[in-house]
Chains A and B, each alone.
Chain A
Amino acid sequence: MNETSARPSSPADEVFDDNVAWRHTRGGRWLLIFQLATITCILALSALTFNIVNSAFGLVAMQNEVDPDSLAVDGVDLEDLEKDALIEVLRDNVRAGLFRALDSRGPLNDRSRDELLVVILEDVVKPRAAATYPLVDSLLARAAIESEVAEKFPTAELEFRSWITPRFVTGSQSGIAEITGVRTAILGSIWTILITILVAFPLGVGAALYLEEYADHDRLFNRFIQTNINNLAGVPSIIYGMLGLAIFVRALEPLTSGAMFQSAVAAANVSANGRTVLSAGLTLALLILPLIIINSQEAVRAVPSSLRQAGLGLGATKWQTIWSLVLPGAMPGIMTGAILAVSRAIGETAPIVVIGASTVIFQDPTGPFSKFTTLPIQIYQWTSRPQPEFRNIAAAAIIVLLVLLLSLNASAVLLRNRFTVRY
């Protein structure tokens, strides 16, 4: 109320503007400005989407080092060949040294047909995008592009390419943009997020219940915890990365590298250092913990205290009241908050780069002690490459990431609408 008591003095100082028409004109102009700002926001979102779609589809001039048709055996296309025939094709077309190297990396006989096809693509056919064109140009200036390609790359074949394909989503990582997939990165993201959820969810809900149900807020210590959580929520994510690097990757290396559990399942896959899925998951857990706590607190607070009093009045202990009355009422809110926090963690890049996951990884992660890469890391690495085709697959990977996030957010909204309890 002090605001309003101070105000009456100010109009006395200024001359009262009694030109009503002008005041309304001014009002209209400002409204226009407000509306323009809002429209600009929507435009920014559209530009962002457009820009990604524009790069994820478009014409590509493809050049193969070896024509796949020439690899056909007895009139059977390469794509339809049996496994043994594929190995023969590979043997005939690469140098003996490379063939042995490929075989020792993973015995060719043990690989699946699809894996062999990828190997042949990588080492024999070697498809290269000589030039790529964005979607808009491809649609509007196809003729110009065709003549340009015919002139510059006579051997290249111009084709309309969607960089995001089922093969891109499920294919394994490769150093070649034209045939790489993001399965390795998706699996890395999923493993990391699993650990993050397992750690952050119970801890976050527990801390929220402590602060809302148990803590005496007159005690300085409890107020300190609350302030501290609010401040942690604003710490830049890269700082968490440095914390994770020093604590999880280095100080707790025996634990996070899996060396402590040498006998465990993945002994063959245990990496030499602590830059593992586990370290990343724990780091991200610390990062989203404040968010989960704050959201859960709000959800717990929204449960009316009459419920608690009824529970306690019937003779239930405090925990019984919380477990069977407070938590079920707060669960939709807690879940919504947790899903939003998790989708933040999935998109987080900086902390994971800092703890050292930004290396080239071609193997799928198999457990908490595997080396890994994640979708955002792949996008970062591909965006940083100068070759245009890497921009295209970065855009395709962004679409995969956004679809993942959108479905998570949609499920959060659904949960909120479906299970919200009104008291």
Chain B
Amino acid sequence: MTVQSEVGRGGGLSSSHDLPLDLRKRRHLFETLVEGGMFASGIISILTTFGIVYVLGTQALLFFQSSGVTLAQFFGGIEWQPRIGKFGVWPLINSTLMVTTIGMLVALPMGLCVAIYLSEYASPKMRNILKPVLEVLAGIPTIVYGYFALTFMTPLLRLIFGDSVVQIYNTASAGIVIGILIIPLVASMSEDSLHAVPDGLRQAAFGLGATRLETALRIVFPAALSGISAAVIVAMSRAIGETMIVAIAAGAGPNFTFNPFQSAETMTGHIVRISGGDLSYDSLDYNSLFAIGLLLFVITFTLNIISGRIIARFREVYD
């Protein structure tokens, strides 16, 4: 209140001749407090990152310090059997990679085709129908996709390839549904960068006699490539970190196999299954989860940083 009256006096014309006008920036307790509060909320995000690194790091360290566990065994072993002290992480990594690859095989072609169609072919009316469809797909919780994988995709695969070939829990079904899950992500991010390519480039191509397809694939697509590759990397990181679909459809129990029709637990699936059960704190099992979590965090964080770099580095600036 005192501040306001001060402002009133300082700024008021009537009193300006008998008071020397103070033009210095005024100290303002409330303003400082507000700014401090906002700065603090900004800091929370950094604290979160440090919290993640600290928690995963210390628990993983405990894991690697326990007897019978070595880094070499962790990264070299192909058997994950905590009961008998075998902690080779490769079965989990392998199935994660398989699920991710299958997912990307579905999502990349589909997502890019949808993006090109939306950006280069679709009429505004079509876009207004299709974009909400993509948004709805993107807004459905992953648990629903998990249900879909188990009760629709798996029976479908078993119908096509036979019950004897396809197990009830398998990585193929989880991978395909993860692919469907990340189509909207690939499509909308790619569409954004295709859309950002200036119209002048297209018109120049049309003027030179290129067909619509040639313009789309040879002119617009390469110009938007950086944005598209960033989208692909983000999608990959999303597929690697996806949890509920694999937890429901890919099966329980680590299994080192390259057969997509067999059940195999991924890193995320393993973490969820073990922590969902009765787990005593500070046991070897508990700590091993954090080692896997750390690995998962490092992989996805690296991918996200790369994608961020690509966007920042190769951002096309057109006039």
Question: Within 8 Å of chain B (Cβ to Cβ): is A23?
Answer: yes
Q: In the bound complex, do residue B49 and residue A239 qualify as a contact, i.e. CB atoms below 8 Å apart?
A: no
What's the nearest-Cβ distance from chain A to residue B273, in Å? 9
Known: A203-B44, A239-B52, A349-B141. A34 touches B151 (CB 8 A): no
* B-binding residues in A (CB < 8 A): 1, 3-4, 7, 23-24, 26-27, 30-31, 33-38, 40-42, 44-45, 47-48, 51-52, 55, 202-204, 206-207, 209-211, 213-215, 224-225, 227-232, 234-243, 245-247, 250, 286, 289-290, 293, 315, 317-319, 340, 343-344, 346-350, 353-354, 356, 358, 376, 379-380, 383-384, 391, 394-395, 398, 401-402, 405, 409
Q: In the bound complex, do residue B41 and residue A206 qualify as a contact, i.e. CB atoms below 8 Å apart?
A: yes
* A-binding residues in B (CB < 8 A): 7, 11, 28, 30-31, 34-35, 37-46, 48-49, 51-52, 55-56, 59, 109-110, 113-114, 116-118, 121, 130, 133-134, 136-137, 139-148, 150-152, 180, 183, 187, 201, 211-214, 217, 222-223, 234, 237-238, 240-244, 247-248, 268, 271-272, 275-276, 279, 281, 289-290, 293, 296-297, 300-301, 303-305, 307-308, 316, 318
Known: A207-B45, A350-B247, A350-B268. A242 touches B289 (CB 8 A): yes
Known: A34-B121, A41-B137, A48-B140. A356 touches B275 (CB 8 A): yes
Chain A residues with CB under 8 A of B276:
353-354, 356, 358
Chain B residues with CB under 8 A of A232:
45, 48-49
Kindly identify which residue among B52, B147, B180 contacts A52, using a CB–CB cutoff of 8 Å: B147
Chain B residues with CB under 8 A of A240:
52
Chain A residues with CB under 8 A of B52:
235, 239-240, 242-243
Q: In the bound complex, do residue B7 and residue A350 qualify as a contact, i.e. CB atoms below 8 Å apart?
A: no
Q: In the bound complex, do residue A343 and residue B139 qualify as a contact, i.e. CB atoms below 8 Å apart?
A: yes
Chain B residues with CB under 8 A of A395:
147
Kindly identify which residue among A35, A209, A231, A317 contacts B31, using a CB–CB cutoff of 8 Å: A317
Q: In the bound complex, do residue B41 and residue A38 qualify as a contact, i.e. CB atoms below 8 Å apart?
A: no
Interface SS of chain A: helix
Closest 3 CB pairs of A and B: A236-B241, A347-B141, A37-B113
Known: A37-B114, A247-B51, A409-B139. A238 touches B243 (CB 8 A): yes
Q: In the bound complex, do residue A236 and residue B38 qualify as a contact, i.e. CB atoms below 8 Å apart?
A: no
Q: In the bound complex, do residue B152 and residue A380 qualify as a contact, i.e. CB atoms below 8 Å apart?
A: no
Q: In the bound complex, do residue A45 and residue B59 qualify as a contact, i.e. CB atoms below 8 Å apart?
A: no
Q: Which of B11, B46, B213, B303 has the most CB of A within 10 A?
A: B213
Q: In the bound complex, do residue B114 and residue A215 qualify as a contact, i.e. CB atoms below 8 Å apart?
A: no
Q: How many A-B residue pairs have CB under 8 A?
A: 261
What's the nearest-Cβ distance from chain B to residue A280, in Å? 14
Q: In the bound complex, do residue B152 and residue A384 qualify as a contact, i.e. CB atoms below 8 Å apart?
A: no
Whole-angstrom distance between the alpha carbons of A227 and B44 in the complex? 14
Whole-angstrom distance between the alpha carbons of A286 and B45 in the complex? 8
